[in-house]
Structure 1
Amino acid sequence: MTGFLLRRVLRALLTIFIVVLAAFLALRTTSDPAIVILGPDAPPAAVAAFHEAWGLDRPLWVQFGSYMSDLLQGQFGKSMLDGQDALSKVTARVAVTLQIMMPALLLGVVTGVGAGIVAALHRGRPLDRIVMLGAVSGFAVPGFVFGLVMVLIFAVNLQWLPSGGNDSWQAMIMPILTLATGWAAILARFTRSAMIEVLDQPYIRTGSAKGLIWREVVMRHALPNAAIPVITMIGFMVGGLLAGAVVIESVFSWPGIGQLIVSSVSSRDVAVVQCVLVLVATTMVVSNMIVDLLYGWLDPRMREAG
C-alpha cells in the first residue's frame, strides 16, 4: 500500500508541475501584460518601467525559477492591476463559488445515483425509459442553454426569482439547479450502466436463487460493487467544480472564481490567472488521487496493477 500511495503522490506532483509550467509559458509568450494593462499607446519608458517592476525584463527561465521558488513558499505573487495578493483575491472568490457548487454537487449526486439505481432495477420498463429520457435530455442540453431558459421562464416571465447576482438566497436556486441537472444526468446514466453490469454477475443470480431477499442482494452485494466506477465519476466532478464555474457564473452574473478568471485573462493579470490555474489543477489532481486511493482500498487488484 505504501508503494501504491507513493506512486500516486509522485504522479500528482508531476501533473501539477506540468500544469504550472504550461500556464507560465502560455501567459508570458502569448502577449505582453504591460501592453494590455497600460494600453497600446503607452510610452516605451512606461512599458520598460512596468517590465522592471514586475520582473518581466529578466530571461524566461529566471522568471520561472523565481516563480517556482515563491510558489514552494506559498507565495502566489500580486495582482498587476491593483497590487493585491493574488491568493487572497482568488480564495475570496472561491468561497463565493462554493456557495452554489457544493449544494449543486450534493443534489446532483443524490439525484443522479438514485435515478440510475431506479432505472437499473426497472431495466426495459417504462420507468427506466422515462429516467433515461430525462438523463439524455439533461446531458444533451448545454448548461448555459438550460440556464438561459430558466432565466427566461422564472426571472423574466414569471418573475419568481432574480436573474443574477448573489444578493439573496433566491439567487442561488437557478445556478444550483442548472449545475445539478447536468451532473445528475451524467451520474444517472453511469450508475445505471454500473448497476446493470453488476446485476448480471453470476453471484447476484446465485444469491437470488438461494432465496435471499432481493432488497438485501441489491443493498449488500450489488450496490457496493457498482459504487467503484461511480466513485470515479464523482471524483471527476469534484475536480471540475472550479473549472466548470466559468460558464454558469457568466450566465447568472455570479461573482465567483469563474468571473475572476475571465476578467483576469482578458486583462493579462498573470499572477491571478496562474493562481487560479494552480488551484484548479491541484483540486482535480488531489480529487483524482483520492479516488485512486479509494479504488485501491476497495479493490486490492488496483494496488497491484498501479
Structure 2
Amino acid sequence: MASKSPRQKTGNELWLHLAKRIAQTVFVLFCVATLTFFLVRLTGDPVKAILPDNASLEQETALRAQLGLDQPLLNQYLSYMGGVIRFDFGDSLYFREAALPLILSRLPATIELAAGALIFALIVSIPAGMVAALRRGKSTDSAVVATVLIGQSTPAFFVGIILILIFAVNLSWLPSSGMGGLSHLILPAITLGLYSMAMITRLLRSSLIDVLGEDYIRTARAKGLSRWQGIRDHALKNAALPVVTIVGLEIGNLLGGAILTEQVFSWPGVGRLTVEAITNRDFALIQAIVLFLSLVFVVTNLLVDIAYAFIDPRVRLSK
C-alpha cells in the first residue's frame, strides 16, 4: 500500500483538527445554553416585571400559563433545547417578538461600534508598539508603557463618563449619546477600543523586542540593510504573528464586551439590548443573547486557530 504524501498527511491533520474544534464548539455551546437556562431562573419571576404592581393573582396566573412558565422546569428545558436545535430561540417576554430577529436587528450597530473600536486600537497601537520597542528604556518607552497600564486598568464605563464630561459637556465638540454619523461613533469607539489598544501595544512591543535580538536581524544589519529596512522586511513580519492572533480574538471580545459602553452612550446595539433584557427578566431574550455571543466568540477563536496554522508554517497541528 502506497504511503500518503506529506501534503496528504497535513490535509488529513487539518481536517481532523477542524472536526475536533467543531465538536468542542458544539459542546461549549451546549454547556452555555444549559447554564444560562438555569441561572436566569434564579433572578426571579418575569411575570412580576411585566405586569403592573396592582395586577391580580388571576392575571399573573394567566400570563404565566401563556408564557409557558407554569410547566415543570425539566419540560421548559427540553422545550428550549429542542428550539435551539431548530434555531428557534423563542419569543421575547417583554418585546413580544422572536428573540433571534430582535438580536439581528441590533447587531449592525454593535458591529459598527466594534469595527470603529478595532480601527482605533490598530491605528494607535501599531506605531506606539514600534516606537516603544525601538526606544526601549528611554522616556518614550516609559510613556507608552504607562499609557498601556492605564488603558488596561481603567474600566470602560469610567473612561466613557470622563470622555463625555470633557468632549461633550465642557467642550461641546462631540455628541454624548445616540447613534448617527461619525461624530457619534468617536467617543464610544475610543472607550471600547482603549483596552484592546493597550493589549496590542504591549504585545507588539514585547514581540518586536524579542525579534530585534535575533541573530538574523544582526546579520541583516551587517549586510548593509538600514535599521528601518531590517525592521520592515524581517522583524515586523515575525513580530506581527502573535499580534494577528490577538486581533482575531479581540474581534469576539469587542462584539461581546460592548455592554457597558453601549449603555453609557445609549448606543442601540446588542449590548444595550442585553441590559434591557436583564432589567426586564426576559428569560428567552437573555438566553438567546448569551448563546449568540458565545457562538460569535467560539467561532472567532476557531477561525483564528485555523488561520494561525496557515500564517505561521512552524505551527504543526497536534495529533
1:32 equivalent among 39, 45, 48:
45
Q: Is the 8 A contact 1:165 1:252 kept in 2?
A: yes
Which one of 12, 19, 22 corresponds to residue 35 of structure 2? 22
Q: Unmatched 5+ residue regions in structure 2? A: 1-13
Where does the alignment leave 5 or more consecutive residues of structure 1 unmatched?
Answer: none
In 1, the alpha carbon distance for the partners of 2:315 and 2:68 equals: 46
Give the counterpart of 1:156 among 169, 179, 203: 169
Q: CA deviation at 1:42?
A: 4.1
CA shift digits 1:17-53 (9 cap, x unpaired): 1111111111124322223323566433333322322
TM-aligned CA deviation for residue 284 of structure 1 = 0.8
2:277 to 250, 264, 270: 264
Q: Is residue 2:207 matched to residue 1:201?
A: no
SS in 2 for 1:164: coil
Instruction: State the shift of 1:93 in Å.
Output: 1.6
Aligned to 2:240: 227
Shift of 1:267: 0.9
Q: Shift of the alpha carbon at 1:65?
A: 2.1
Counterpart residue identity of residue 105, structure 2: A
Aligned-residue Cα RMSD (Å) equals 2.1
Partner of 2:91 in structure 1? 78
Q: Are positions 1:295 and 2:308 aligned together?
A: yes
C-alpha displacement at 1:122, in angstroms?
A: 2.2
Q: Does 1:183 align with 2:196?
A: yes
Q: Secondary structure at the match of 1:55?
A: coil
Counterpart residue number, 1:46: 59
Q: In 2, Cα distance between the equivalents of 1:104 and 1:37?
A: 35
Per-residue deviation, 1:280? 1.0
Question: What is the CA–CA distance in structure 1 between the aligned matches of 2:33 and 2:315, rounded to whole Å?
Answer: 29
Matched residues in 2 for 1:301 and 1:63: separation? Answer: 49
Q: Is 1:236–2:249 an aligned residue pair? A: yes
Superposition deviation, residue 160 in structure 1:
1.8
CA offsets per residue over residues 41-98 of structure 1, 9 Å max, x none?
A: 6433333322322222223232222212222222121111232111122112222222
Deviation at 1:192, TM superposition (A): 0.5
**Matching of residue 62 in structure 1 with residue 75 in structure 2:** yes
Distance 1:260 1:29 in 2: 20
From 265, 273, 286, the equivalent of 2:299 is 286
The equivalent residue for 1:172 is: 185
- How far, CA to CA, are the matches of 1:144 and 1:302 in structure 2? 39
1:34, 1:51 within 8 Å by CA — same for their partners in 2? yes
- What CA distance in whole angstroms lies between the structure 2 residues aligned with 1:169 and 1:122? 34
User: How far apart in 2 are the matches of 1:167 and 1:95?
Assistant: 13
AA paired with 1:19?
V
Q: Count matched residues.
A: 306
- SS of 2:221's equivalent in the other structure is helix
Name whichever of 162-171 and 250-259 sits farther off: 162-171
Q: Which amino acid aligns with 1:83?
A: R
Following the alignment from structure 2 to structure 1, what is the Cα–Cα distance between the partners of residues 53 and 211? Answer: 62
- For 2:219 and 2:59, how far apart are their aligned partners in 1? 79
| C-alpha distance in structure 1 between counterparts of 2:126 and 2:57, whole Å | 59
Amino acid at match of 1:254: W
Indicate if the aligned counterparts of 1:4 and 1:303 stay in contact, CA closer than 8 A.
Answer: no
TM (norm. structure 1) is: 0.91
CA distance in 2, matches of 1:34, 1:141: 38
2:112 corresponds, among 93, 96, 99, to 99
Matches of 1:145 and 1:249 in 2, distance apart?
13
Letter in 1 for 2:46: P
Would the aligned equivalents of 2:116 and 2:185 in 1 still touch at CA under 8 Å? no
In structure 2, the residue corresponding to 1:78 is in which secondary structure? coil
- Seen in structure 2, the aligned counterparts of structure 1 residues 136 and 47 have a Cα distance that, compared at 3 Å, is same
Matched with 2:259 is 246
1:255 alignment partner in structure 2 = 268
- The alpha carbon displacement at 1:239 in A equals 0.9
**Contact 1:20–1:274 (CA<8 Å) still a contact in 2?**
yes
- 226-235 vs 189-198, which moves further: 226-235
Contact kept, 8 Å, 2:263 with 2:275, in 1: the verdict is: no
